[in-house]
Structure 1
Amino acid sequence: MRPLEDIRIIAVEQYGAGPFGSVHLADLGADVIKIEEPGTGGDVGRYVPPYAEGEDSLFFETFNRNKRSLSLDLATPAGREVFEDLVAHADAVYSNLRGDVPAKIGITYDQLQHLNPSIVCCSLTGFGMTGPRAGQPGYDYILQGLAGWMDLTGEPGGPPAKSGLSIVDYSGGFVAAIALLAGVHAARRDGRGMDCDLSLFDTAIGMLTYPATWHLNAGFAPERTRYSAHPSLVPFQLFPTADGWVVVGCAKEKFWQRLVTVLNVEILSEPRFATFAARREHAAELLPLLEGVFATRVTADWLAVLEPAGIPCGPVNDVPAALRDPHTLARDLIVETEHPRYGTVRQVASPVRVGDQPPAHRRAPRRGEDLGYVSELLGYSPQHLAALRAAGAFGREDG
């Protein structure tokens, strides 16, 4: 069996953060059944441009492989009946909605425990289910601003900037996946489920890590650094080369000593640059010296001498270069699925690896594709299924 093959998750999810968290669970074998609202066309991720046609998009494929889809109108009594039957056969209800919505639509533990005392209700929201912002919608861009990330990103004197990726969304998905697994473990041990109240805001604040500790305990005021330099370790930053950039990091004294040897510039051996503390104190003198040296050769030439010397370093790749890096390919980080519209779809693999069983990948589901699977799982007779259809459980498209 695959690691999570004995876990079933009912996912009331859409777009990025929620589906990103559950796709890793699906890749590990969890039976993830997406609930898609038929009246609005299901998960909005199906329509994200530019690579979208009909109800298919490469965005949706990225976040929903290995899952199942059920079009279900939770606002109808018949749709609610199907949902509650699924809860009785599931380990977790997983959602990413606004903080006040889970209670409004009846998917909290208090509202579902009568159906399944062991159900784990995992809600990933923008701001959590309590607090003054609980009713506000939360998006990655907004959270990067609120949590101080944008203020720290970019060159000194420039405008605030977000990360090039939706890091709060993706980190929030990982946090929710960890919480869900912990909740299921506890529920199986204790026989009682629970709510898991996760938020993008909590995730973003939590990821402030040691700069927050420094501020709370020593008044440290984080600020942007030139060439993305580390706030305390010198040197650990970008350096311009003759044709681009190279990242060099001396996170241990031995790396600095190796760098001094490789660069073979006598002034770098002076006592004022001999320790972490000294290099930080004299950074305004040291960094221009290093910048001048690195600017004399192209990036490939520097990597050819830095890497063999065991000095942490790397190029600044663009995305195409990162995807064709030999290490990317050697680690099997590009996976393929077959799709009726797109043919072979190539995408990045989950970084979550458990054991040595090779992962299996199945394309993302078409909307409502798994009604038959769900009907069989729940033991619905043809007559009962027809009655549910007629009552609008699956939306007019399926009626």
Structure 2
Amino acid sequence: MCGALEGIRVLDLSRVLAGPYCTMILGDLGAEVIKVEGPGGSDDTRNWGPPYTGGESAYYLCANRNKRAITLNLKTDEGKEVLKKLIAKSDVVLENFKNGTMNKWGLDYEELKKINPQIVHCSITGFGRNGPYNGFPGYDFIIQAMSGLMSITGSEESGPTKVGVAISDIFTGLYSAIGIQAALLERNRSGLGQSIDISLLDSQISALANVASNYLVSGNVPERLGNEHPNIVPYQPFPTEDGQMAVAVGNDRQFGKFMEVLGLQEYAQEERFATNPQRLKNREELIQLITEQMKTKTSREWLESLQKQGIPAGPINTVKEMFEDPQVIARELVKEVAHPTAGKVKLVGSPLNLSRTPTEVTRHPPLAGEHTNEVLAEIGYTESQIEEMKIQRVI
């Protein structure tokens, strides 16, 4: 079955998470992705473990399925020539080198479009191509700190806290995939490629969404609220008789039903709680009322009652519990793929569900350089030329 991006070839010169995550999405959608690393493998995440399976780290496995892999020394003239031949036959080049690296190698966008005027070039950096920080390296943790995200995450007791996953990298990978697909669509009209400048800082600031907007509108600096919501009450975890659960009451109608389920319906129409703005003003009093009542039943009992009334609520799962959830199982979010050194490997599947061109896991996360011979043969290199390049450490 053909994927939505069937016929698109992507050269992935990136490593770690944001770039590989982007190209994995494109690969899931049917693009042919060729992962390019230095000889021996230069993606740092190959060594970010334990855990490992079959010599590959779990971190590397999470972002590199549906790709072929070659090794290429771009510091050599021969390596650059191989890359240029690949560029001539590709649609997209994605890289996340420090600013100036591609220029130093004579492979900046101006040179790329001389080789292939239709090429879409995507550059991922920490801070973008301009501005006083453009030469600084950017890791997810630093971006979470600088973007303001950590200032609103955690509680007053915990202090600034990062999100438990490299969320700035993930947002950047998603924005990159969107930008690349938009540029490919525009190319259908103009016949020309273009260069895309994506930064982790820009992406994370964009993803602050309502929190950033709250500040721009009010001038009030957002504070850490722990698990509470800055604009909606009640919208947080509550203790129950046997643990905790999450409740998200999004409007006044839901609030009325929620209070009815709790047996506190007399408070639903009180002026201090009747509307969301009033609930925000009287947050502390309301949360105390709800908390005391929630402690009287188990999480399961409350969940059953709340879900019957259409009130958003859910358990606070561990990762193990999440993967055992019947909804997650029904959505087939775990995919199993054969791997040459690790046997069967389980991966998190794509959340993209297209009716005619569904995503598929057709390739395992590749070993370093696993497809070098195969790819080079496709662009015209003979066996003897490939062997000579191995001897010269070009590949």
TM-score by length of 2: 0.95
1:14/1:190 Cα in 2 relative to 1: closer, same or farther (>3 Å)? Answer: same
Equivalent position of 1:305 in the other structure = 305
Equivalent position of 2:329 in the other structure = 329
Q: Is the 8 A contact 2:6 2:30 kept in 1?
A: yes
Q: Is the 8 A contact 2:352 2:359 kept in 1?
A: no
Name the CA distance, whole Å, in 1 between partners of 2:100 and 2:294: 54
Equivalent position of 1:166 in the other structure = 166
CA RMSD of aligned residues (A): 1.7
Q: CA deviation at 1:229?
A: 1.1
Deviations 1:276-308 (A, max 9, x none): 122122222111000111112221111011111
Q: CA deviation at 1:211?
A: 2.1
Equivalent position of 1:76 in the other structure = 76
Could you tell me which amino acid in structure 2 is paired with residue 279 of structure 1?
A: R
Where do 1:261-276 residues align within 5 Å? 261-269=260-268, 270-276=270-276
Could you tell me which amino acid in structure 1 is paired with residue 96 of structure 2?
A: N
Q: Return 5+ residue gaps in structure 2 as ranges.
A: none
Match status 1:104 vs 2:104: yes
Deviations 1:187-219 (A, max 9, x none): 232122111000101011111222222212321
Name the CA distance, whole Å, in 1 between partners of 2:51 and 2:107: 33
Q: Is the 8 A contact 1:117 1:192 kept in 2?
A: yes
Q: CA deviation at 1:247?
A: 1.1
Name the CA distance, whole Å, in 1 between partners of 2:101 and 2:194: 17
Where do 1:105-120 residues align within 5 Å? 105-120=105-120
Equivalent position of 2:15 in the other structure = 14
Equivalent position of 2:202 in the other structure = 202
Match status 1:238 vs 2:267: no
Equivalent position of 1:50 in the other structure = 50
Q: Is the 8 A contact 2:54 2:341 kept in 1?
A: no
Name the CA distance, whole Å, in 1 between partners of 2:54 and 2:129: 34
Q: CA deviation at 1:122?
A: 0.3
Q: Is the 8 A contact 1:109 1:120 kept in 2?
A: no
Q: Return 5+ residue gaps in structure 1 as ranges.
A: 395-399
Q: CA deviation at 1:384?
A: 3.9
Q: Is the 8 A contact 1:26 1:67 kept in 2?
A: yes
Match status 1:253 vs 2:258: no
Q: Is the 8 A contact 1:8 1:30 kept in 2?
A: yes
1:110/1:240 Cα in 2 relative to 1: closer, same or farther (>3 Å)? Answer: same
Q: CA deviation at 1:10?
A: 0.6
Q: CA deviation at 1:112?
A: 1.1
Q: Is the 8 A contact 2:55 2:341 kept in 1?
A: no
Could you tell me which amino acid in structure 2 is paired with residue 381 of structure 1?
A: T
Could you tell me which amino acid in structure 1 is paired with residue 25 of structure 2?
A: H
Q: Is the 8 A contact 2:12 2:33 kept in 1?
A: yes
Could you tell me which amino acid in structure 1 is paired with residue 371 of structure 2?
A: D
